[in-house]
């Protein structure tokens, strides 16, 4: 490549998604001097997960002061674990403060991205097109609802919806409400509704281990102190982070670690101490190790499911009928409202957007066996295309905001090589990606996720699709790109 072709040049950047990672990307791009960018958001407003999920009881299971941009502390969190509407307002406020909102094009879905003659050609859902030098896919992980395959689901005579598509026009008080699923969403809904509705039925296919937490409110005095002295927030963040890494993050990657044994003992004690009926207790006791599935944190689920209005149903569902759900024991569980808290298709990432890389290679074909990316960020043959919180990233281990901040810092270093004229195209090499995947898969065999349960952490081959190493290693990997792992043209 000639010196002229390598000269510094302005770059046009498209960010796909205006959730936590997309907003972060825009802020950091501008901070680094990349001013020509746009965010395309398929929904009517920003927010990602916290826009989509508005079900009763929604809250983050990461402490609020850790689930906050490091550069934009929030002294006004109401509780240790913030409710979803507060988090949504936080992201809206941050986007306005940093001038991101004006760069978001809401209601515009990116349908196709094609790498043609060194640039990305984007085809949008509104019929328009765009061209970019770099694409940042900040589309998130959990945003494609997973609908259960239950016969008769369309025959239900009452209101029915997925938990991520909650219909707030449907009255709940005095109604018979059924929830299918026992993941963190269903647990939170149970806590919020069991004592409120006339009858609450939780249909459980798989029992879950519940780790006890407390979620006290921050007092007015505490919030005022945080506002006066931001260093108090920084110290709190460090303390929470240290405890989370030492007690959970480093435990789950080694199934035989002493920390993992402590977590299991804590979960068993929580069940034994708080569920008094021995029959119900055994129904709620999982037959796999704690944290094999995503560990659920709750201070009151066991209390809620023992409420006189509540019932746990473990008989398999045979079909949905107009009047409710019929289980295989022949019983019809009569319902007015049916909620599908059945999770998301965690393997979709940017899809269904069609992404074509060099020589017309389609991302869907590359990911036919399982989604993979070097360090979860870059896919061979897809130059200048970067994923945040992509395949095999640390989704289950750490705060996703911390992860996204480290990732965008890494991506910006790669982008600077392009802007400064050192190359025009960057993508992970096939060899580096293969080596990374081999090492990752081998390390994952030691993790708690590989101890014999079915979960969304596992890919179609049964391999845990998450970061199987320590947080310190992730920080080290994100500190400086190893350019020998990339194809630079």
Q: Is the pLDDT of residue 398 over 80?
A: no
Q: Is the pLDDT of residue 396 over 70?
A: no
Q: Kindly state whether residues 207 and 297 are assigned to the same domain.
A: yes
Residue that terminates a domain, selected from 318, 340, 362: 340
81-109 residue pLDDT tens: 999 999 999 999 999 999 999 999 999 99
What count of other Cβ atoms lies within 10 Å of the Cβ of residue 244? 19
Q: Kindly state whether residues 299 and 415 are assigned to the same domain.
A: no
Instruction: Tell me the C-alpha to C-alpha distance, in Å, between residue 254 and each of 144, 455, 469.
Output: 30, 17, 9
| Mean of pLDDT values over 457-479 | 91
pLDDT reported for residue 3: 40
Residue 63, Ramachandran bin (φ over 0: left; ψ between -120 and 50: alpha; else beta): beta
Query: How far is the C-alpha of 135 from the C-alpha of 404, rounded, in Å?
Result: 16
| Mean of pLDDT values over 392-404 | 83
Q: Kindly state whether residues 335 and 408 are assigned to the same domain.
A: no
Residue percentage of the chain with pLDDT more than 90: 87
- The CATH number covering residue 467 comes to 3.50.50.60
In a domain, 210, yes or no: yes
| Mean of pLDDT values over 414-440 | 96
142: preceding bond cis by omega (within 30 degrees): no
Measured on CA atoms in the order 345, 349, 354, 359, is the torsion positive or negative?
negative
140-154 residue pLDDT tens: 887 788 899 999 999
| Mean of pLDDT values over 350-369 | 94
What count of other Cβ atoms lies within 10 Å of the Cβ of residue 299? 16
pLDDT reported for residue 348: 76
Residue that terminates a domain, selected from 294, 310, 340: 340
pLDDT reported for residue 145: 87
In a domain, 249, yes or no: no
In a domain, 220, yes or no: no
Q: Kindly state whether residues 289 and 275 are assigned to the same domain.
A: yes
| Mean of pLDDT values over 237-254 | 91
Q: Is the pLDDT of residue 416 over 80?
A: yes
Domain count, the chain: 2
Do the beta carbons of residue 343 and residue 181 sit within 8 Å? yes
Task: Quote the pTM value.
Answer: 0.95
322-358 residue pLDDT tens: 999 999 999 999 999 999 999 987 677 898 899 999 9
Domain that holds residue 361: 13-144+345-488
Do the beta carbons of residue 206 and residue 292 sit within 8 Å? no
Confidence tier at 394 by pLDDT (50, 70, 90) = confident
Tokens of 387: 């994923």
Confidence tier at 226 by pLDDT (50, 70, 90) = very high
Q: Kindly state whether residues 271 and 158 are assigned to the same domain.
A: yes
> Largest Cα–Cα distance in the chain?
77
Q: Kindly state whether residues 295 and 191 are assigned to the same domain.
A: yes
């Amino acid at each position: 490549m000639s010196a002229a072709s390598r000269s510094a040049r302005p770059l046009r950047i498209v960010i796909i998604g205006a959730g936590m990672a997309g907003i972060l990307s825009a802020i950091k791009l501008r901070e680094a001097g990349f001013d020509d960018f746009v965010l395309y958001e398929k929904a009517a407003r920003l927010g990602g997960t916290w826009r989509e999920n508005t079900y009763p009881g929604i809250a983050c299971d990461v402490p609020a002061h850790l689930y906050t941009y490091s550069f934009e502390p929030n002294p006004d969190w109401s509780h240790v674990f913030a409710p979803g509407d507060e988090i949504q307002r936080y992201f809206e406020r941050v986007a306005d403060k940093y001038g991101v909102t004006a760069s978001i094009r809401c209601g515009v879905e990116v349908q196709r991205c094609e790498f043609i003659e060194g640039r990305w050609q984007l085809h949008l859902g509104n019929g328009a097109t765009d061209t970019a030098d770099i694409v940042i896919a900040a589309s998130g992980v959990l945003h494609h609802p997973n609908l259960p395959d239950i016969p008769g689901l369309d025959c239900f005579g009452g209101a029915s919806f997925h938990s991520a598509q909650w219909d707030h026009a449907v009255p709940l008080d005095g109604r018979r409400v059924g929830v299918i699923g026992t993941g963190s969403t269903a647990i939170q809904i149970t806590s919020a509704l069991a004592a409120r509705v006339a009858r609450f039925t939780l249909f459980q296919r798989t029992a879950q281990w519940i780790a006890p937490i407390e979620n006290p409110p921050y007092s007015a005095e505490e919030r005022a102190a945080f506002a006066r002295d931001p260093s108090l927030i920084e110290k709190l963040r460090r303390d929470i982070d240290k405890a989370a890494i030492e007690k959970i993050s480093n435990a789950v990657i080694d199934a035989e670690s002493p920390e993992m044994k402590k977590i299991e003992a804590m979960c068993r004690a929580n069940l034994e101490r708080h569920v008094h009926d021995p029959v119900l207790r055994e129904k709620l006791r999982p037959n796999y190790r704690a944290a094999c599935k995503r560990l659920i944190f709750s201070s009151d689920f066991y209390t809620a499911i023992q409420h006189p209005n509540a019932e746990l149903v473990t008989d398999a569902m045979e079909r949905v009928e107009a009047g409710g759900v019929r289980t295989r024991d022949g019983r019809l569980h009569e319902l007015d409202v049916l909620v599908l808290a059945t999770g998301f298709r965690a393997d979709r990432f940017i899809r269904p957007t069609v992404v074509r890389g060099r020589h017309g290679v389609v991302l869907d074909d590359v990911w036919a066996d399982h989604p993979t990316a070097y360090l979860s960020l870059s896919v061979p043959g897809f130059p200048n295309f970067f994923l945040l919180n992509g395949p095999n990233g640390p989704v289950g281990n750490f705060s996703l905001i911390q992860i996204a901040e480290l990732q965008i810092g890494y991506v910006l270093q790669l982008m600077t090589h392009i802007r400064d004229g050192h190359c025009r195209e960057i993508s992970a090499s096939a060899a580096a990606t293969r080596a990374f995947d081999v090492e990752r898969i081998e390390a994952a065999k030691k993790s708690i996720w590989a101890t014999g349960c079915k979960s969304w952490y596992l890919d179609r081959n049964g391999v845990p699709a998450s970061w199987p190493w320590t947080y310190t290693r992730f920080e080290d990997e994100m500190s400086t790109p190893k350019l020998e792992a990339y194809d630079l043209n």
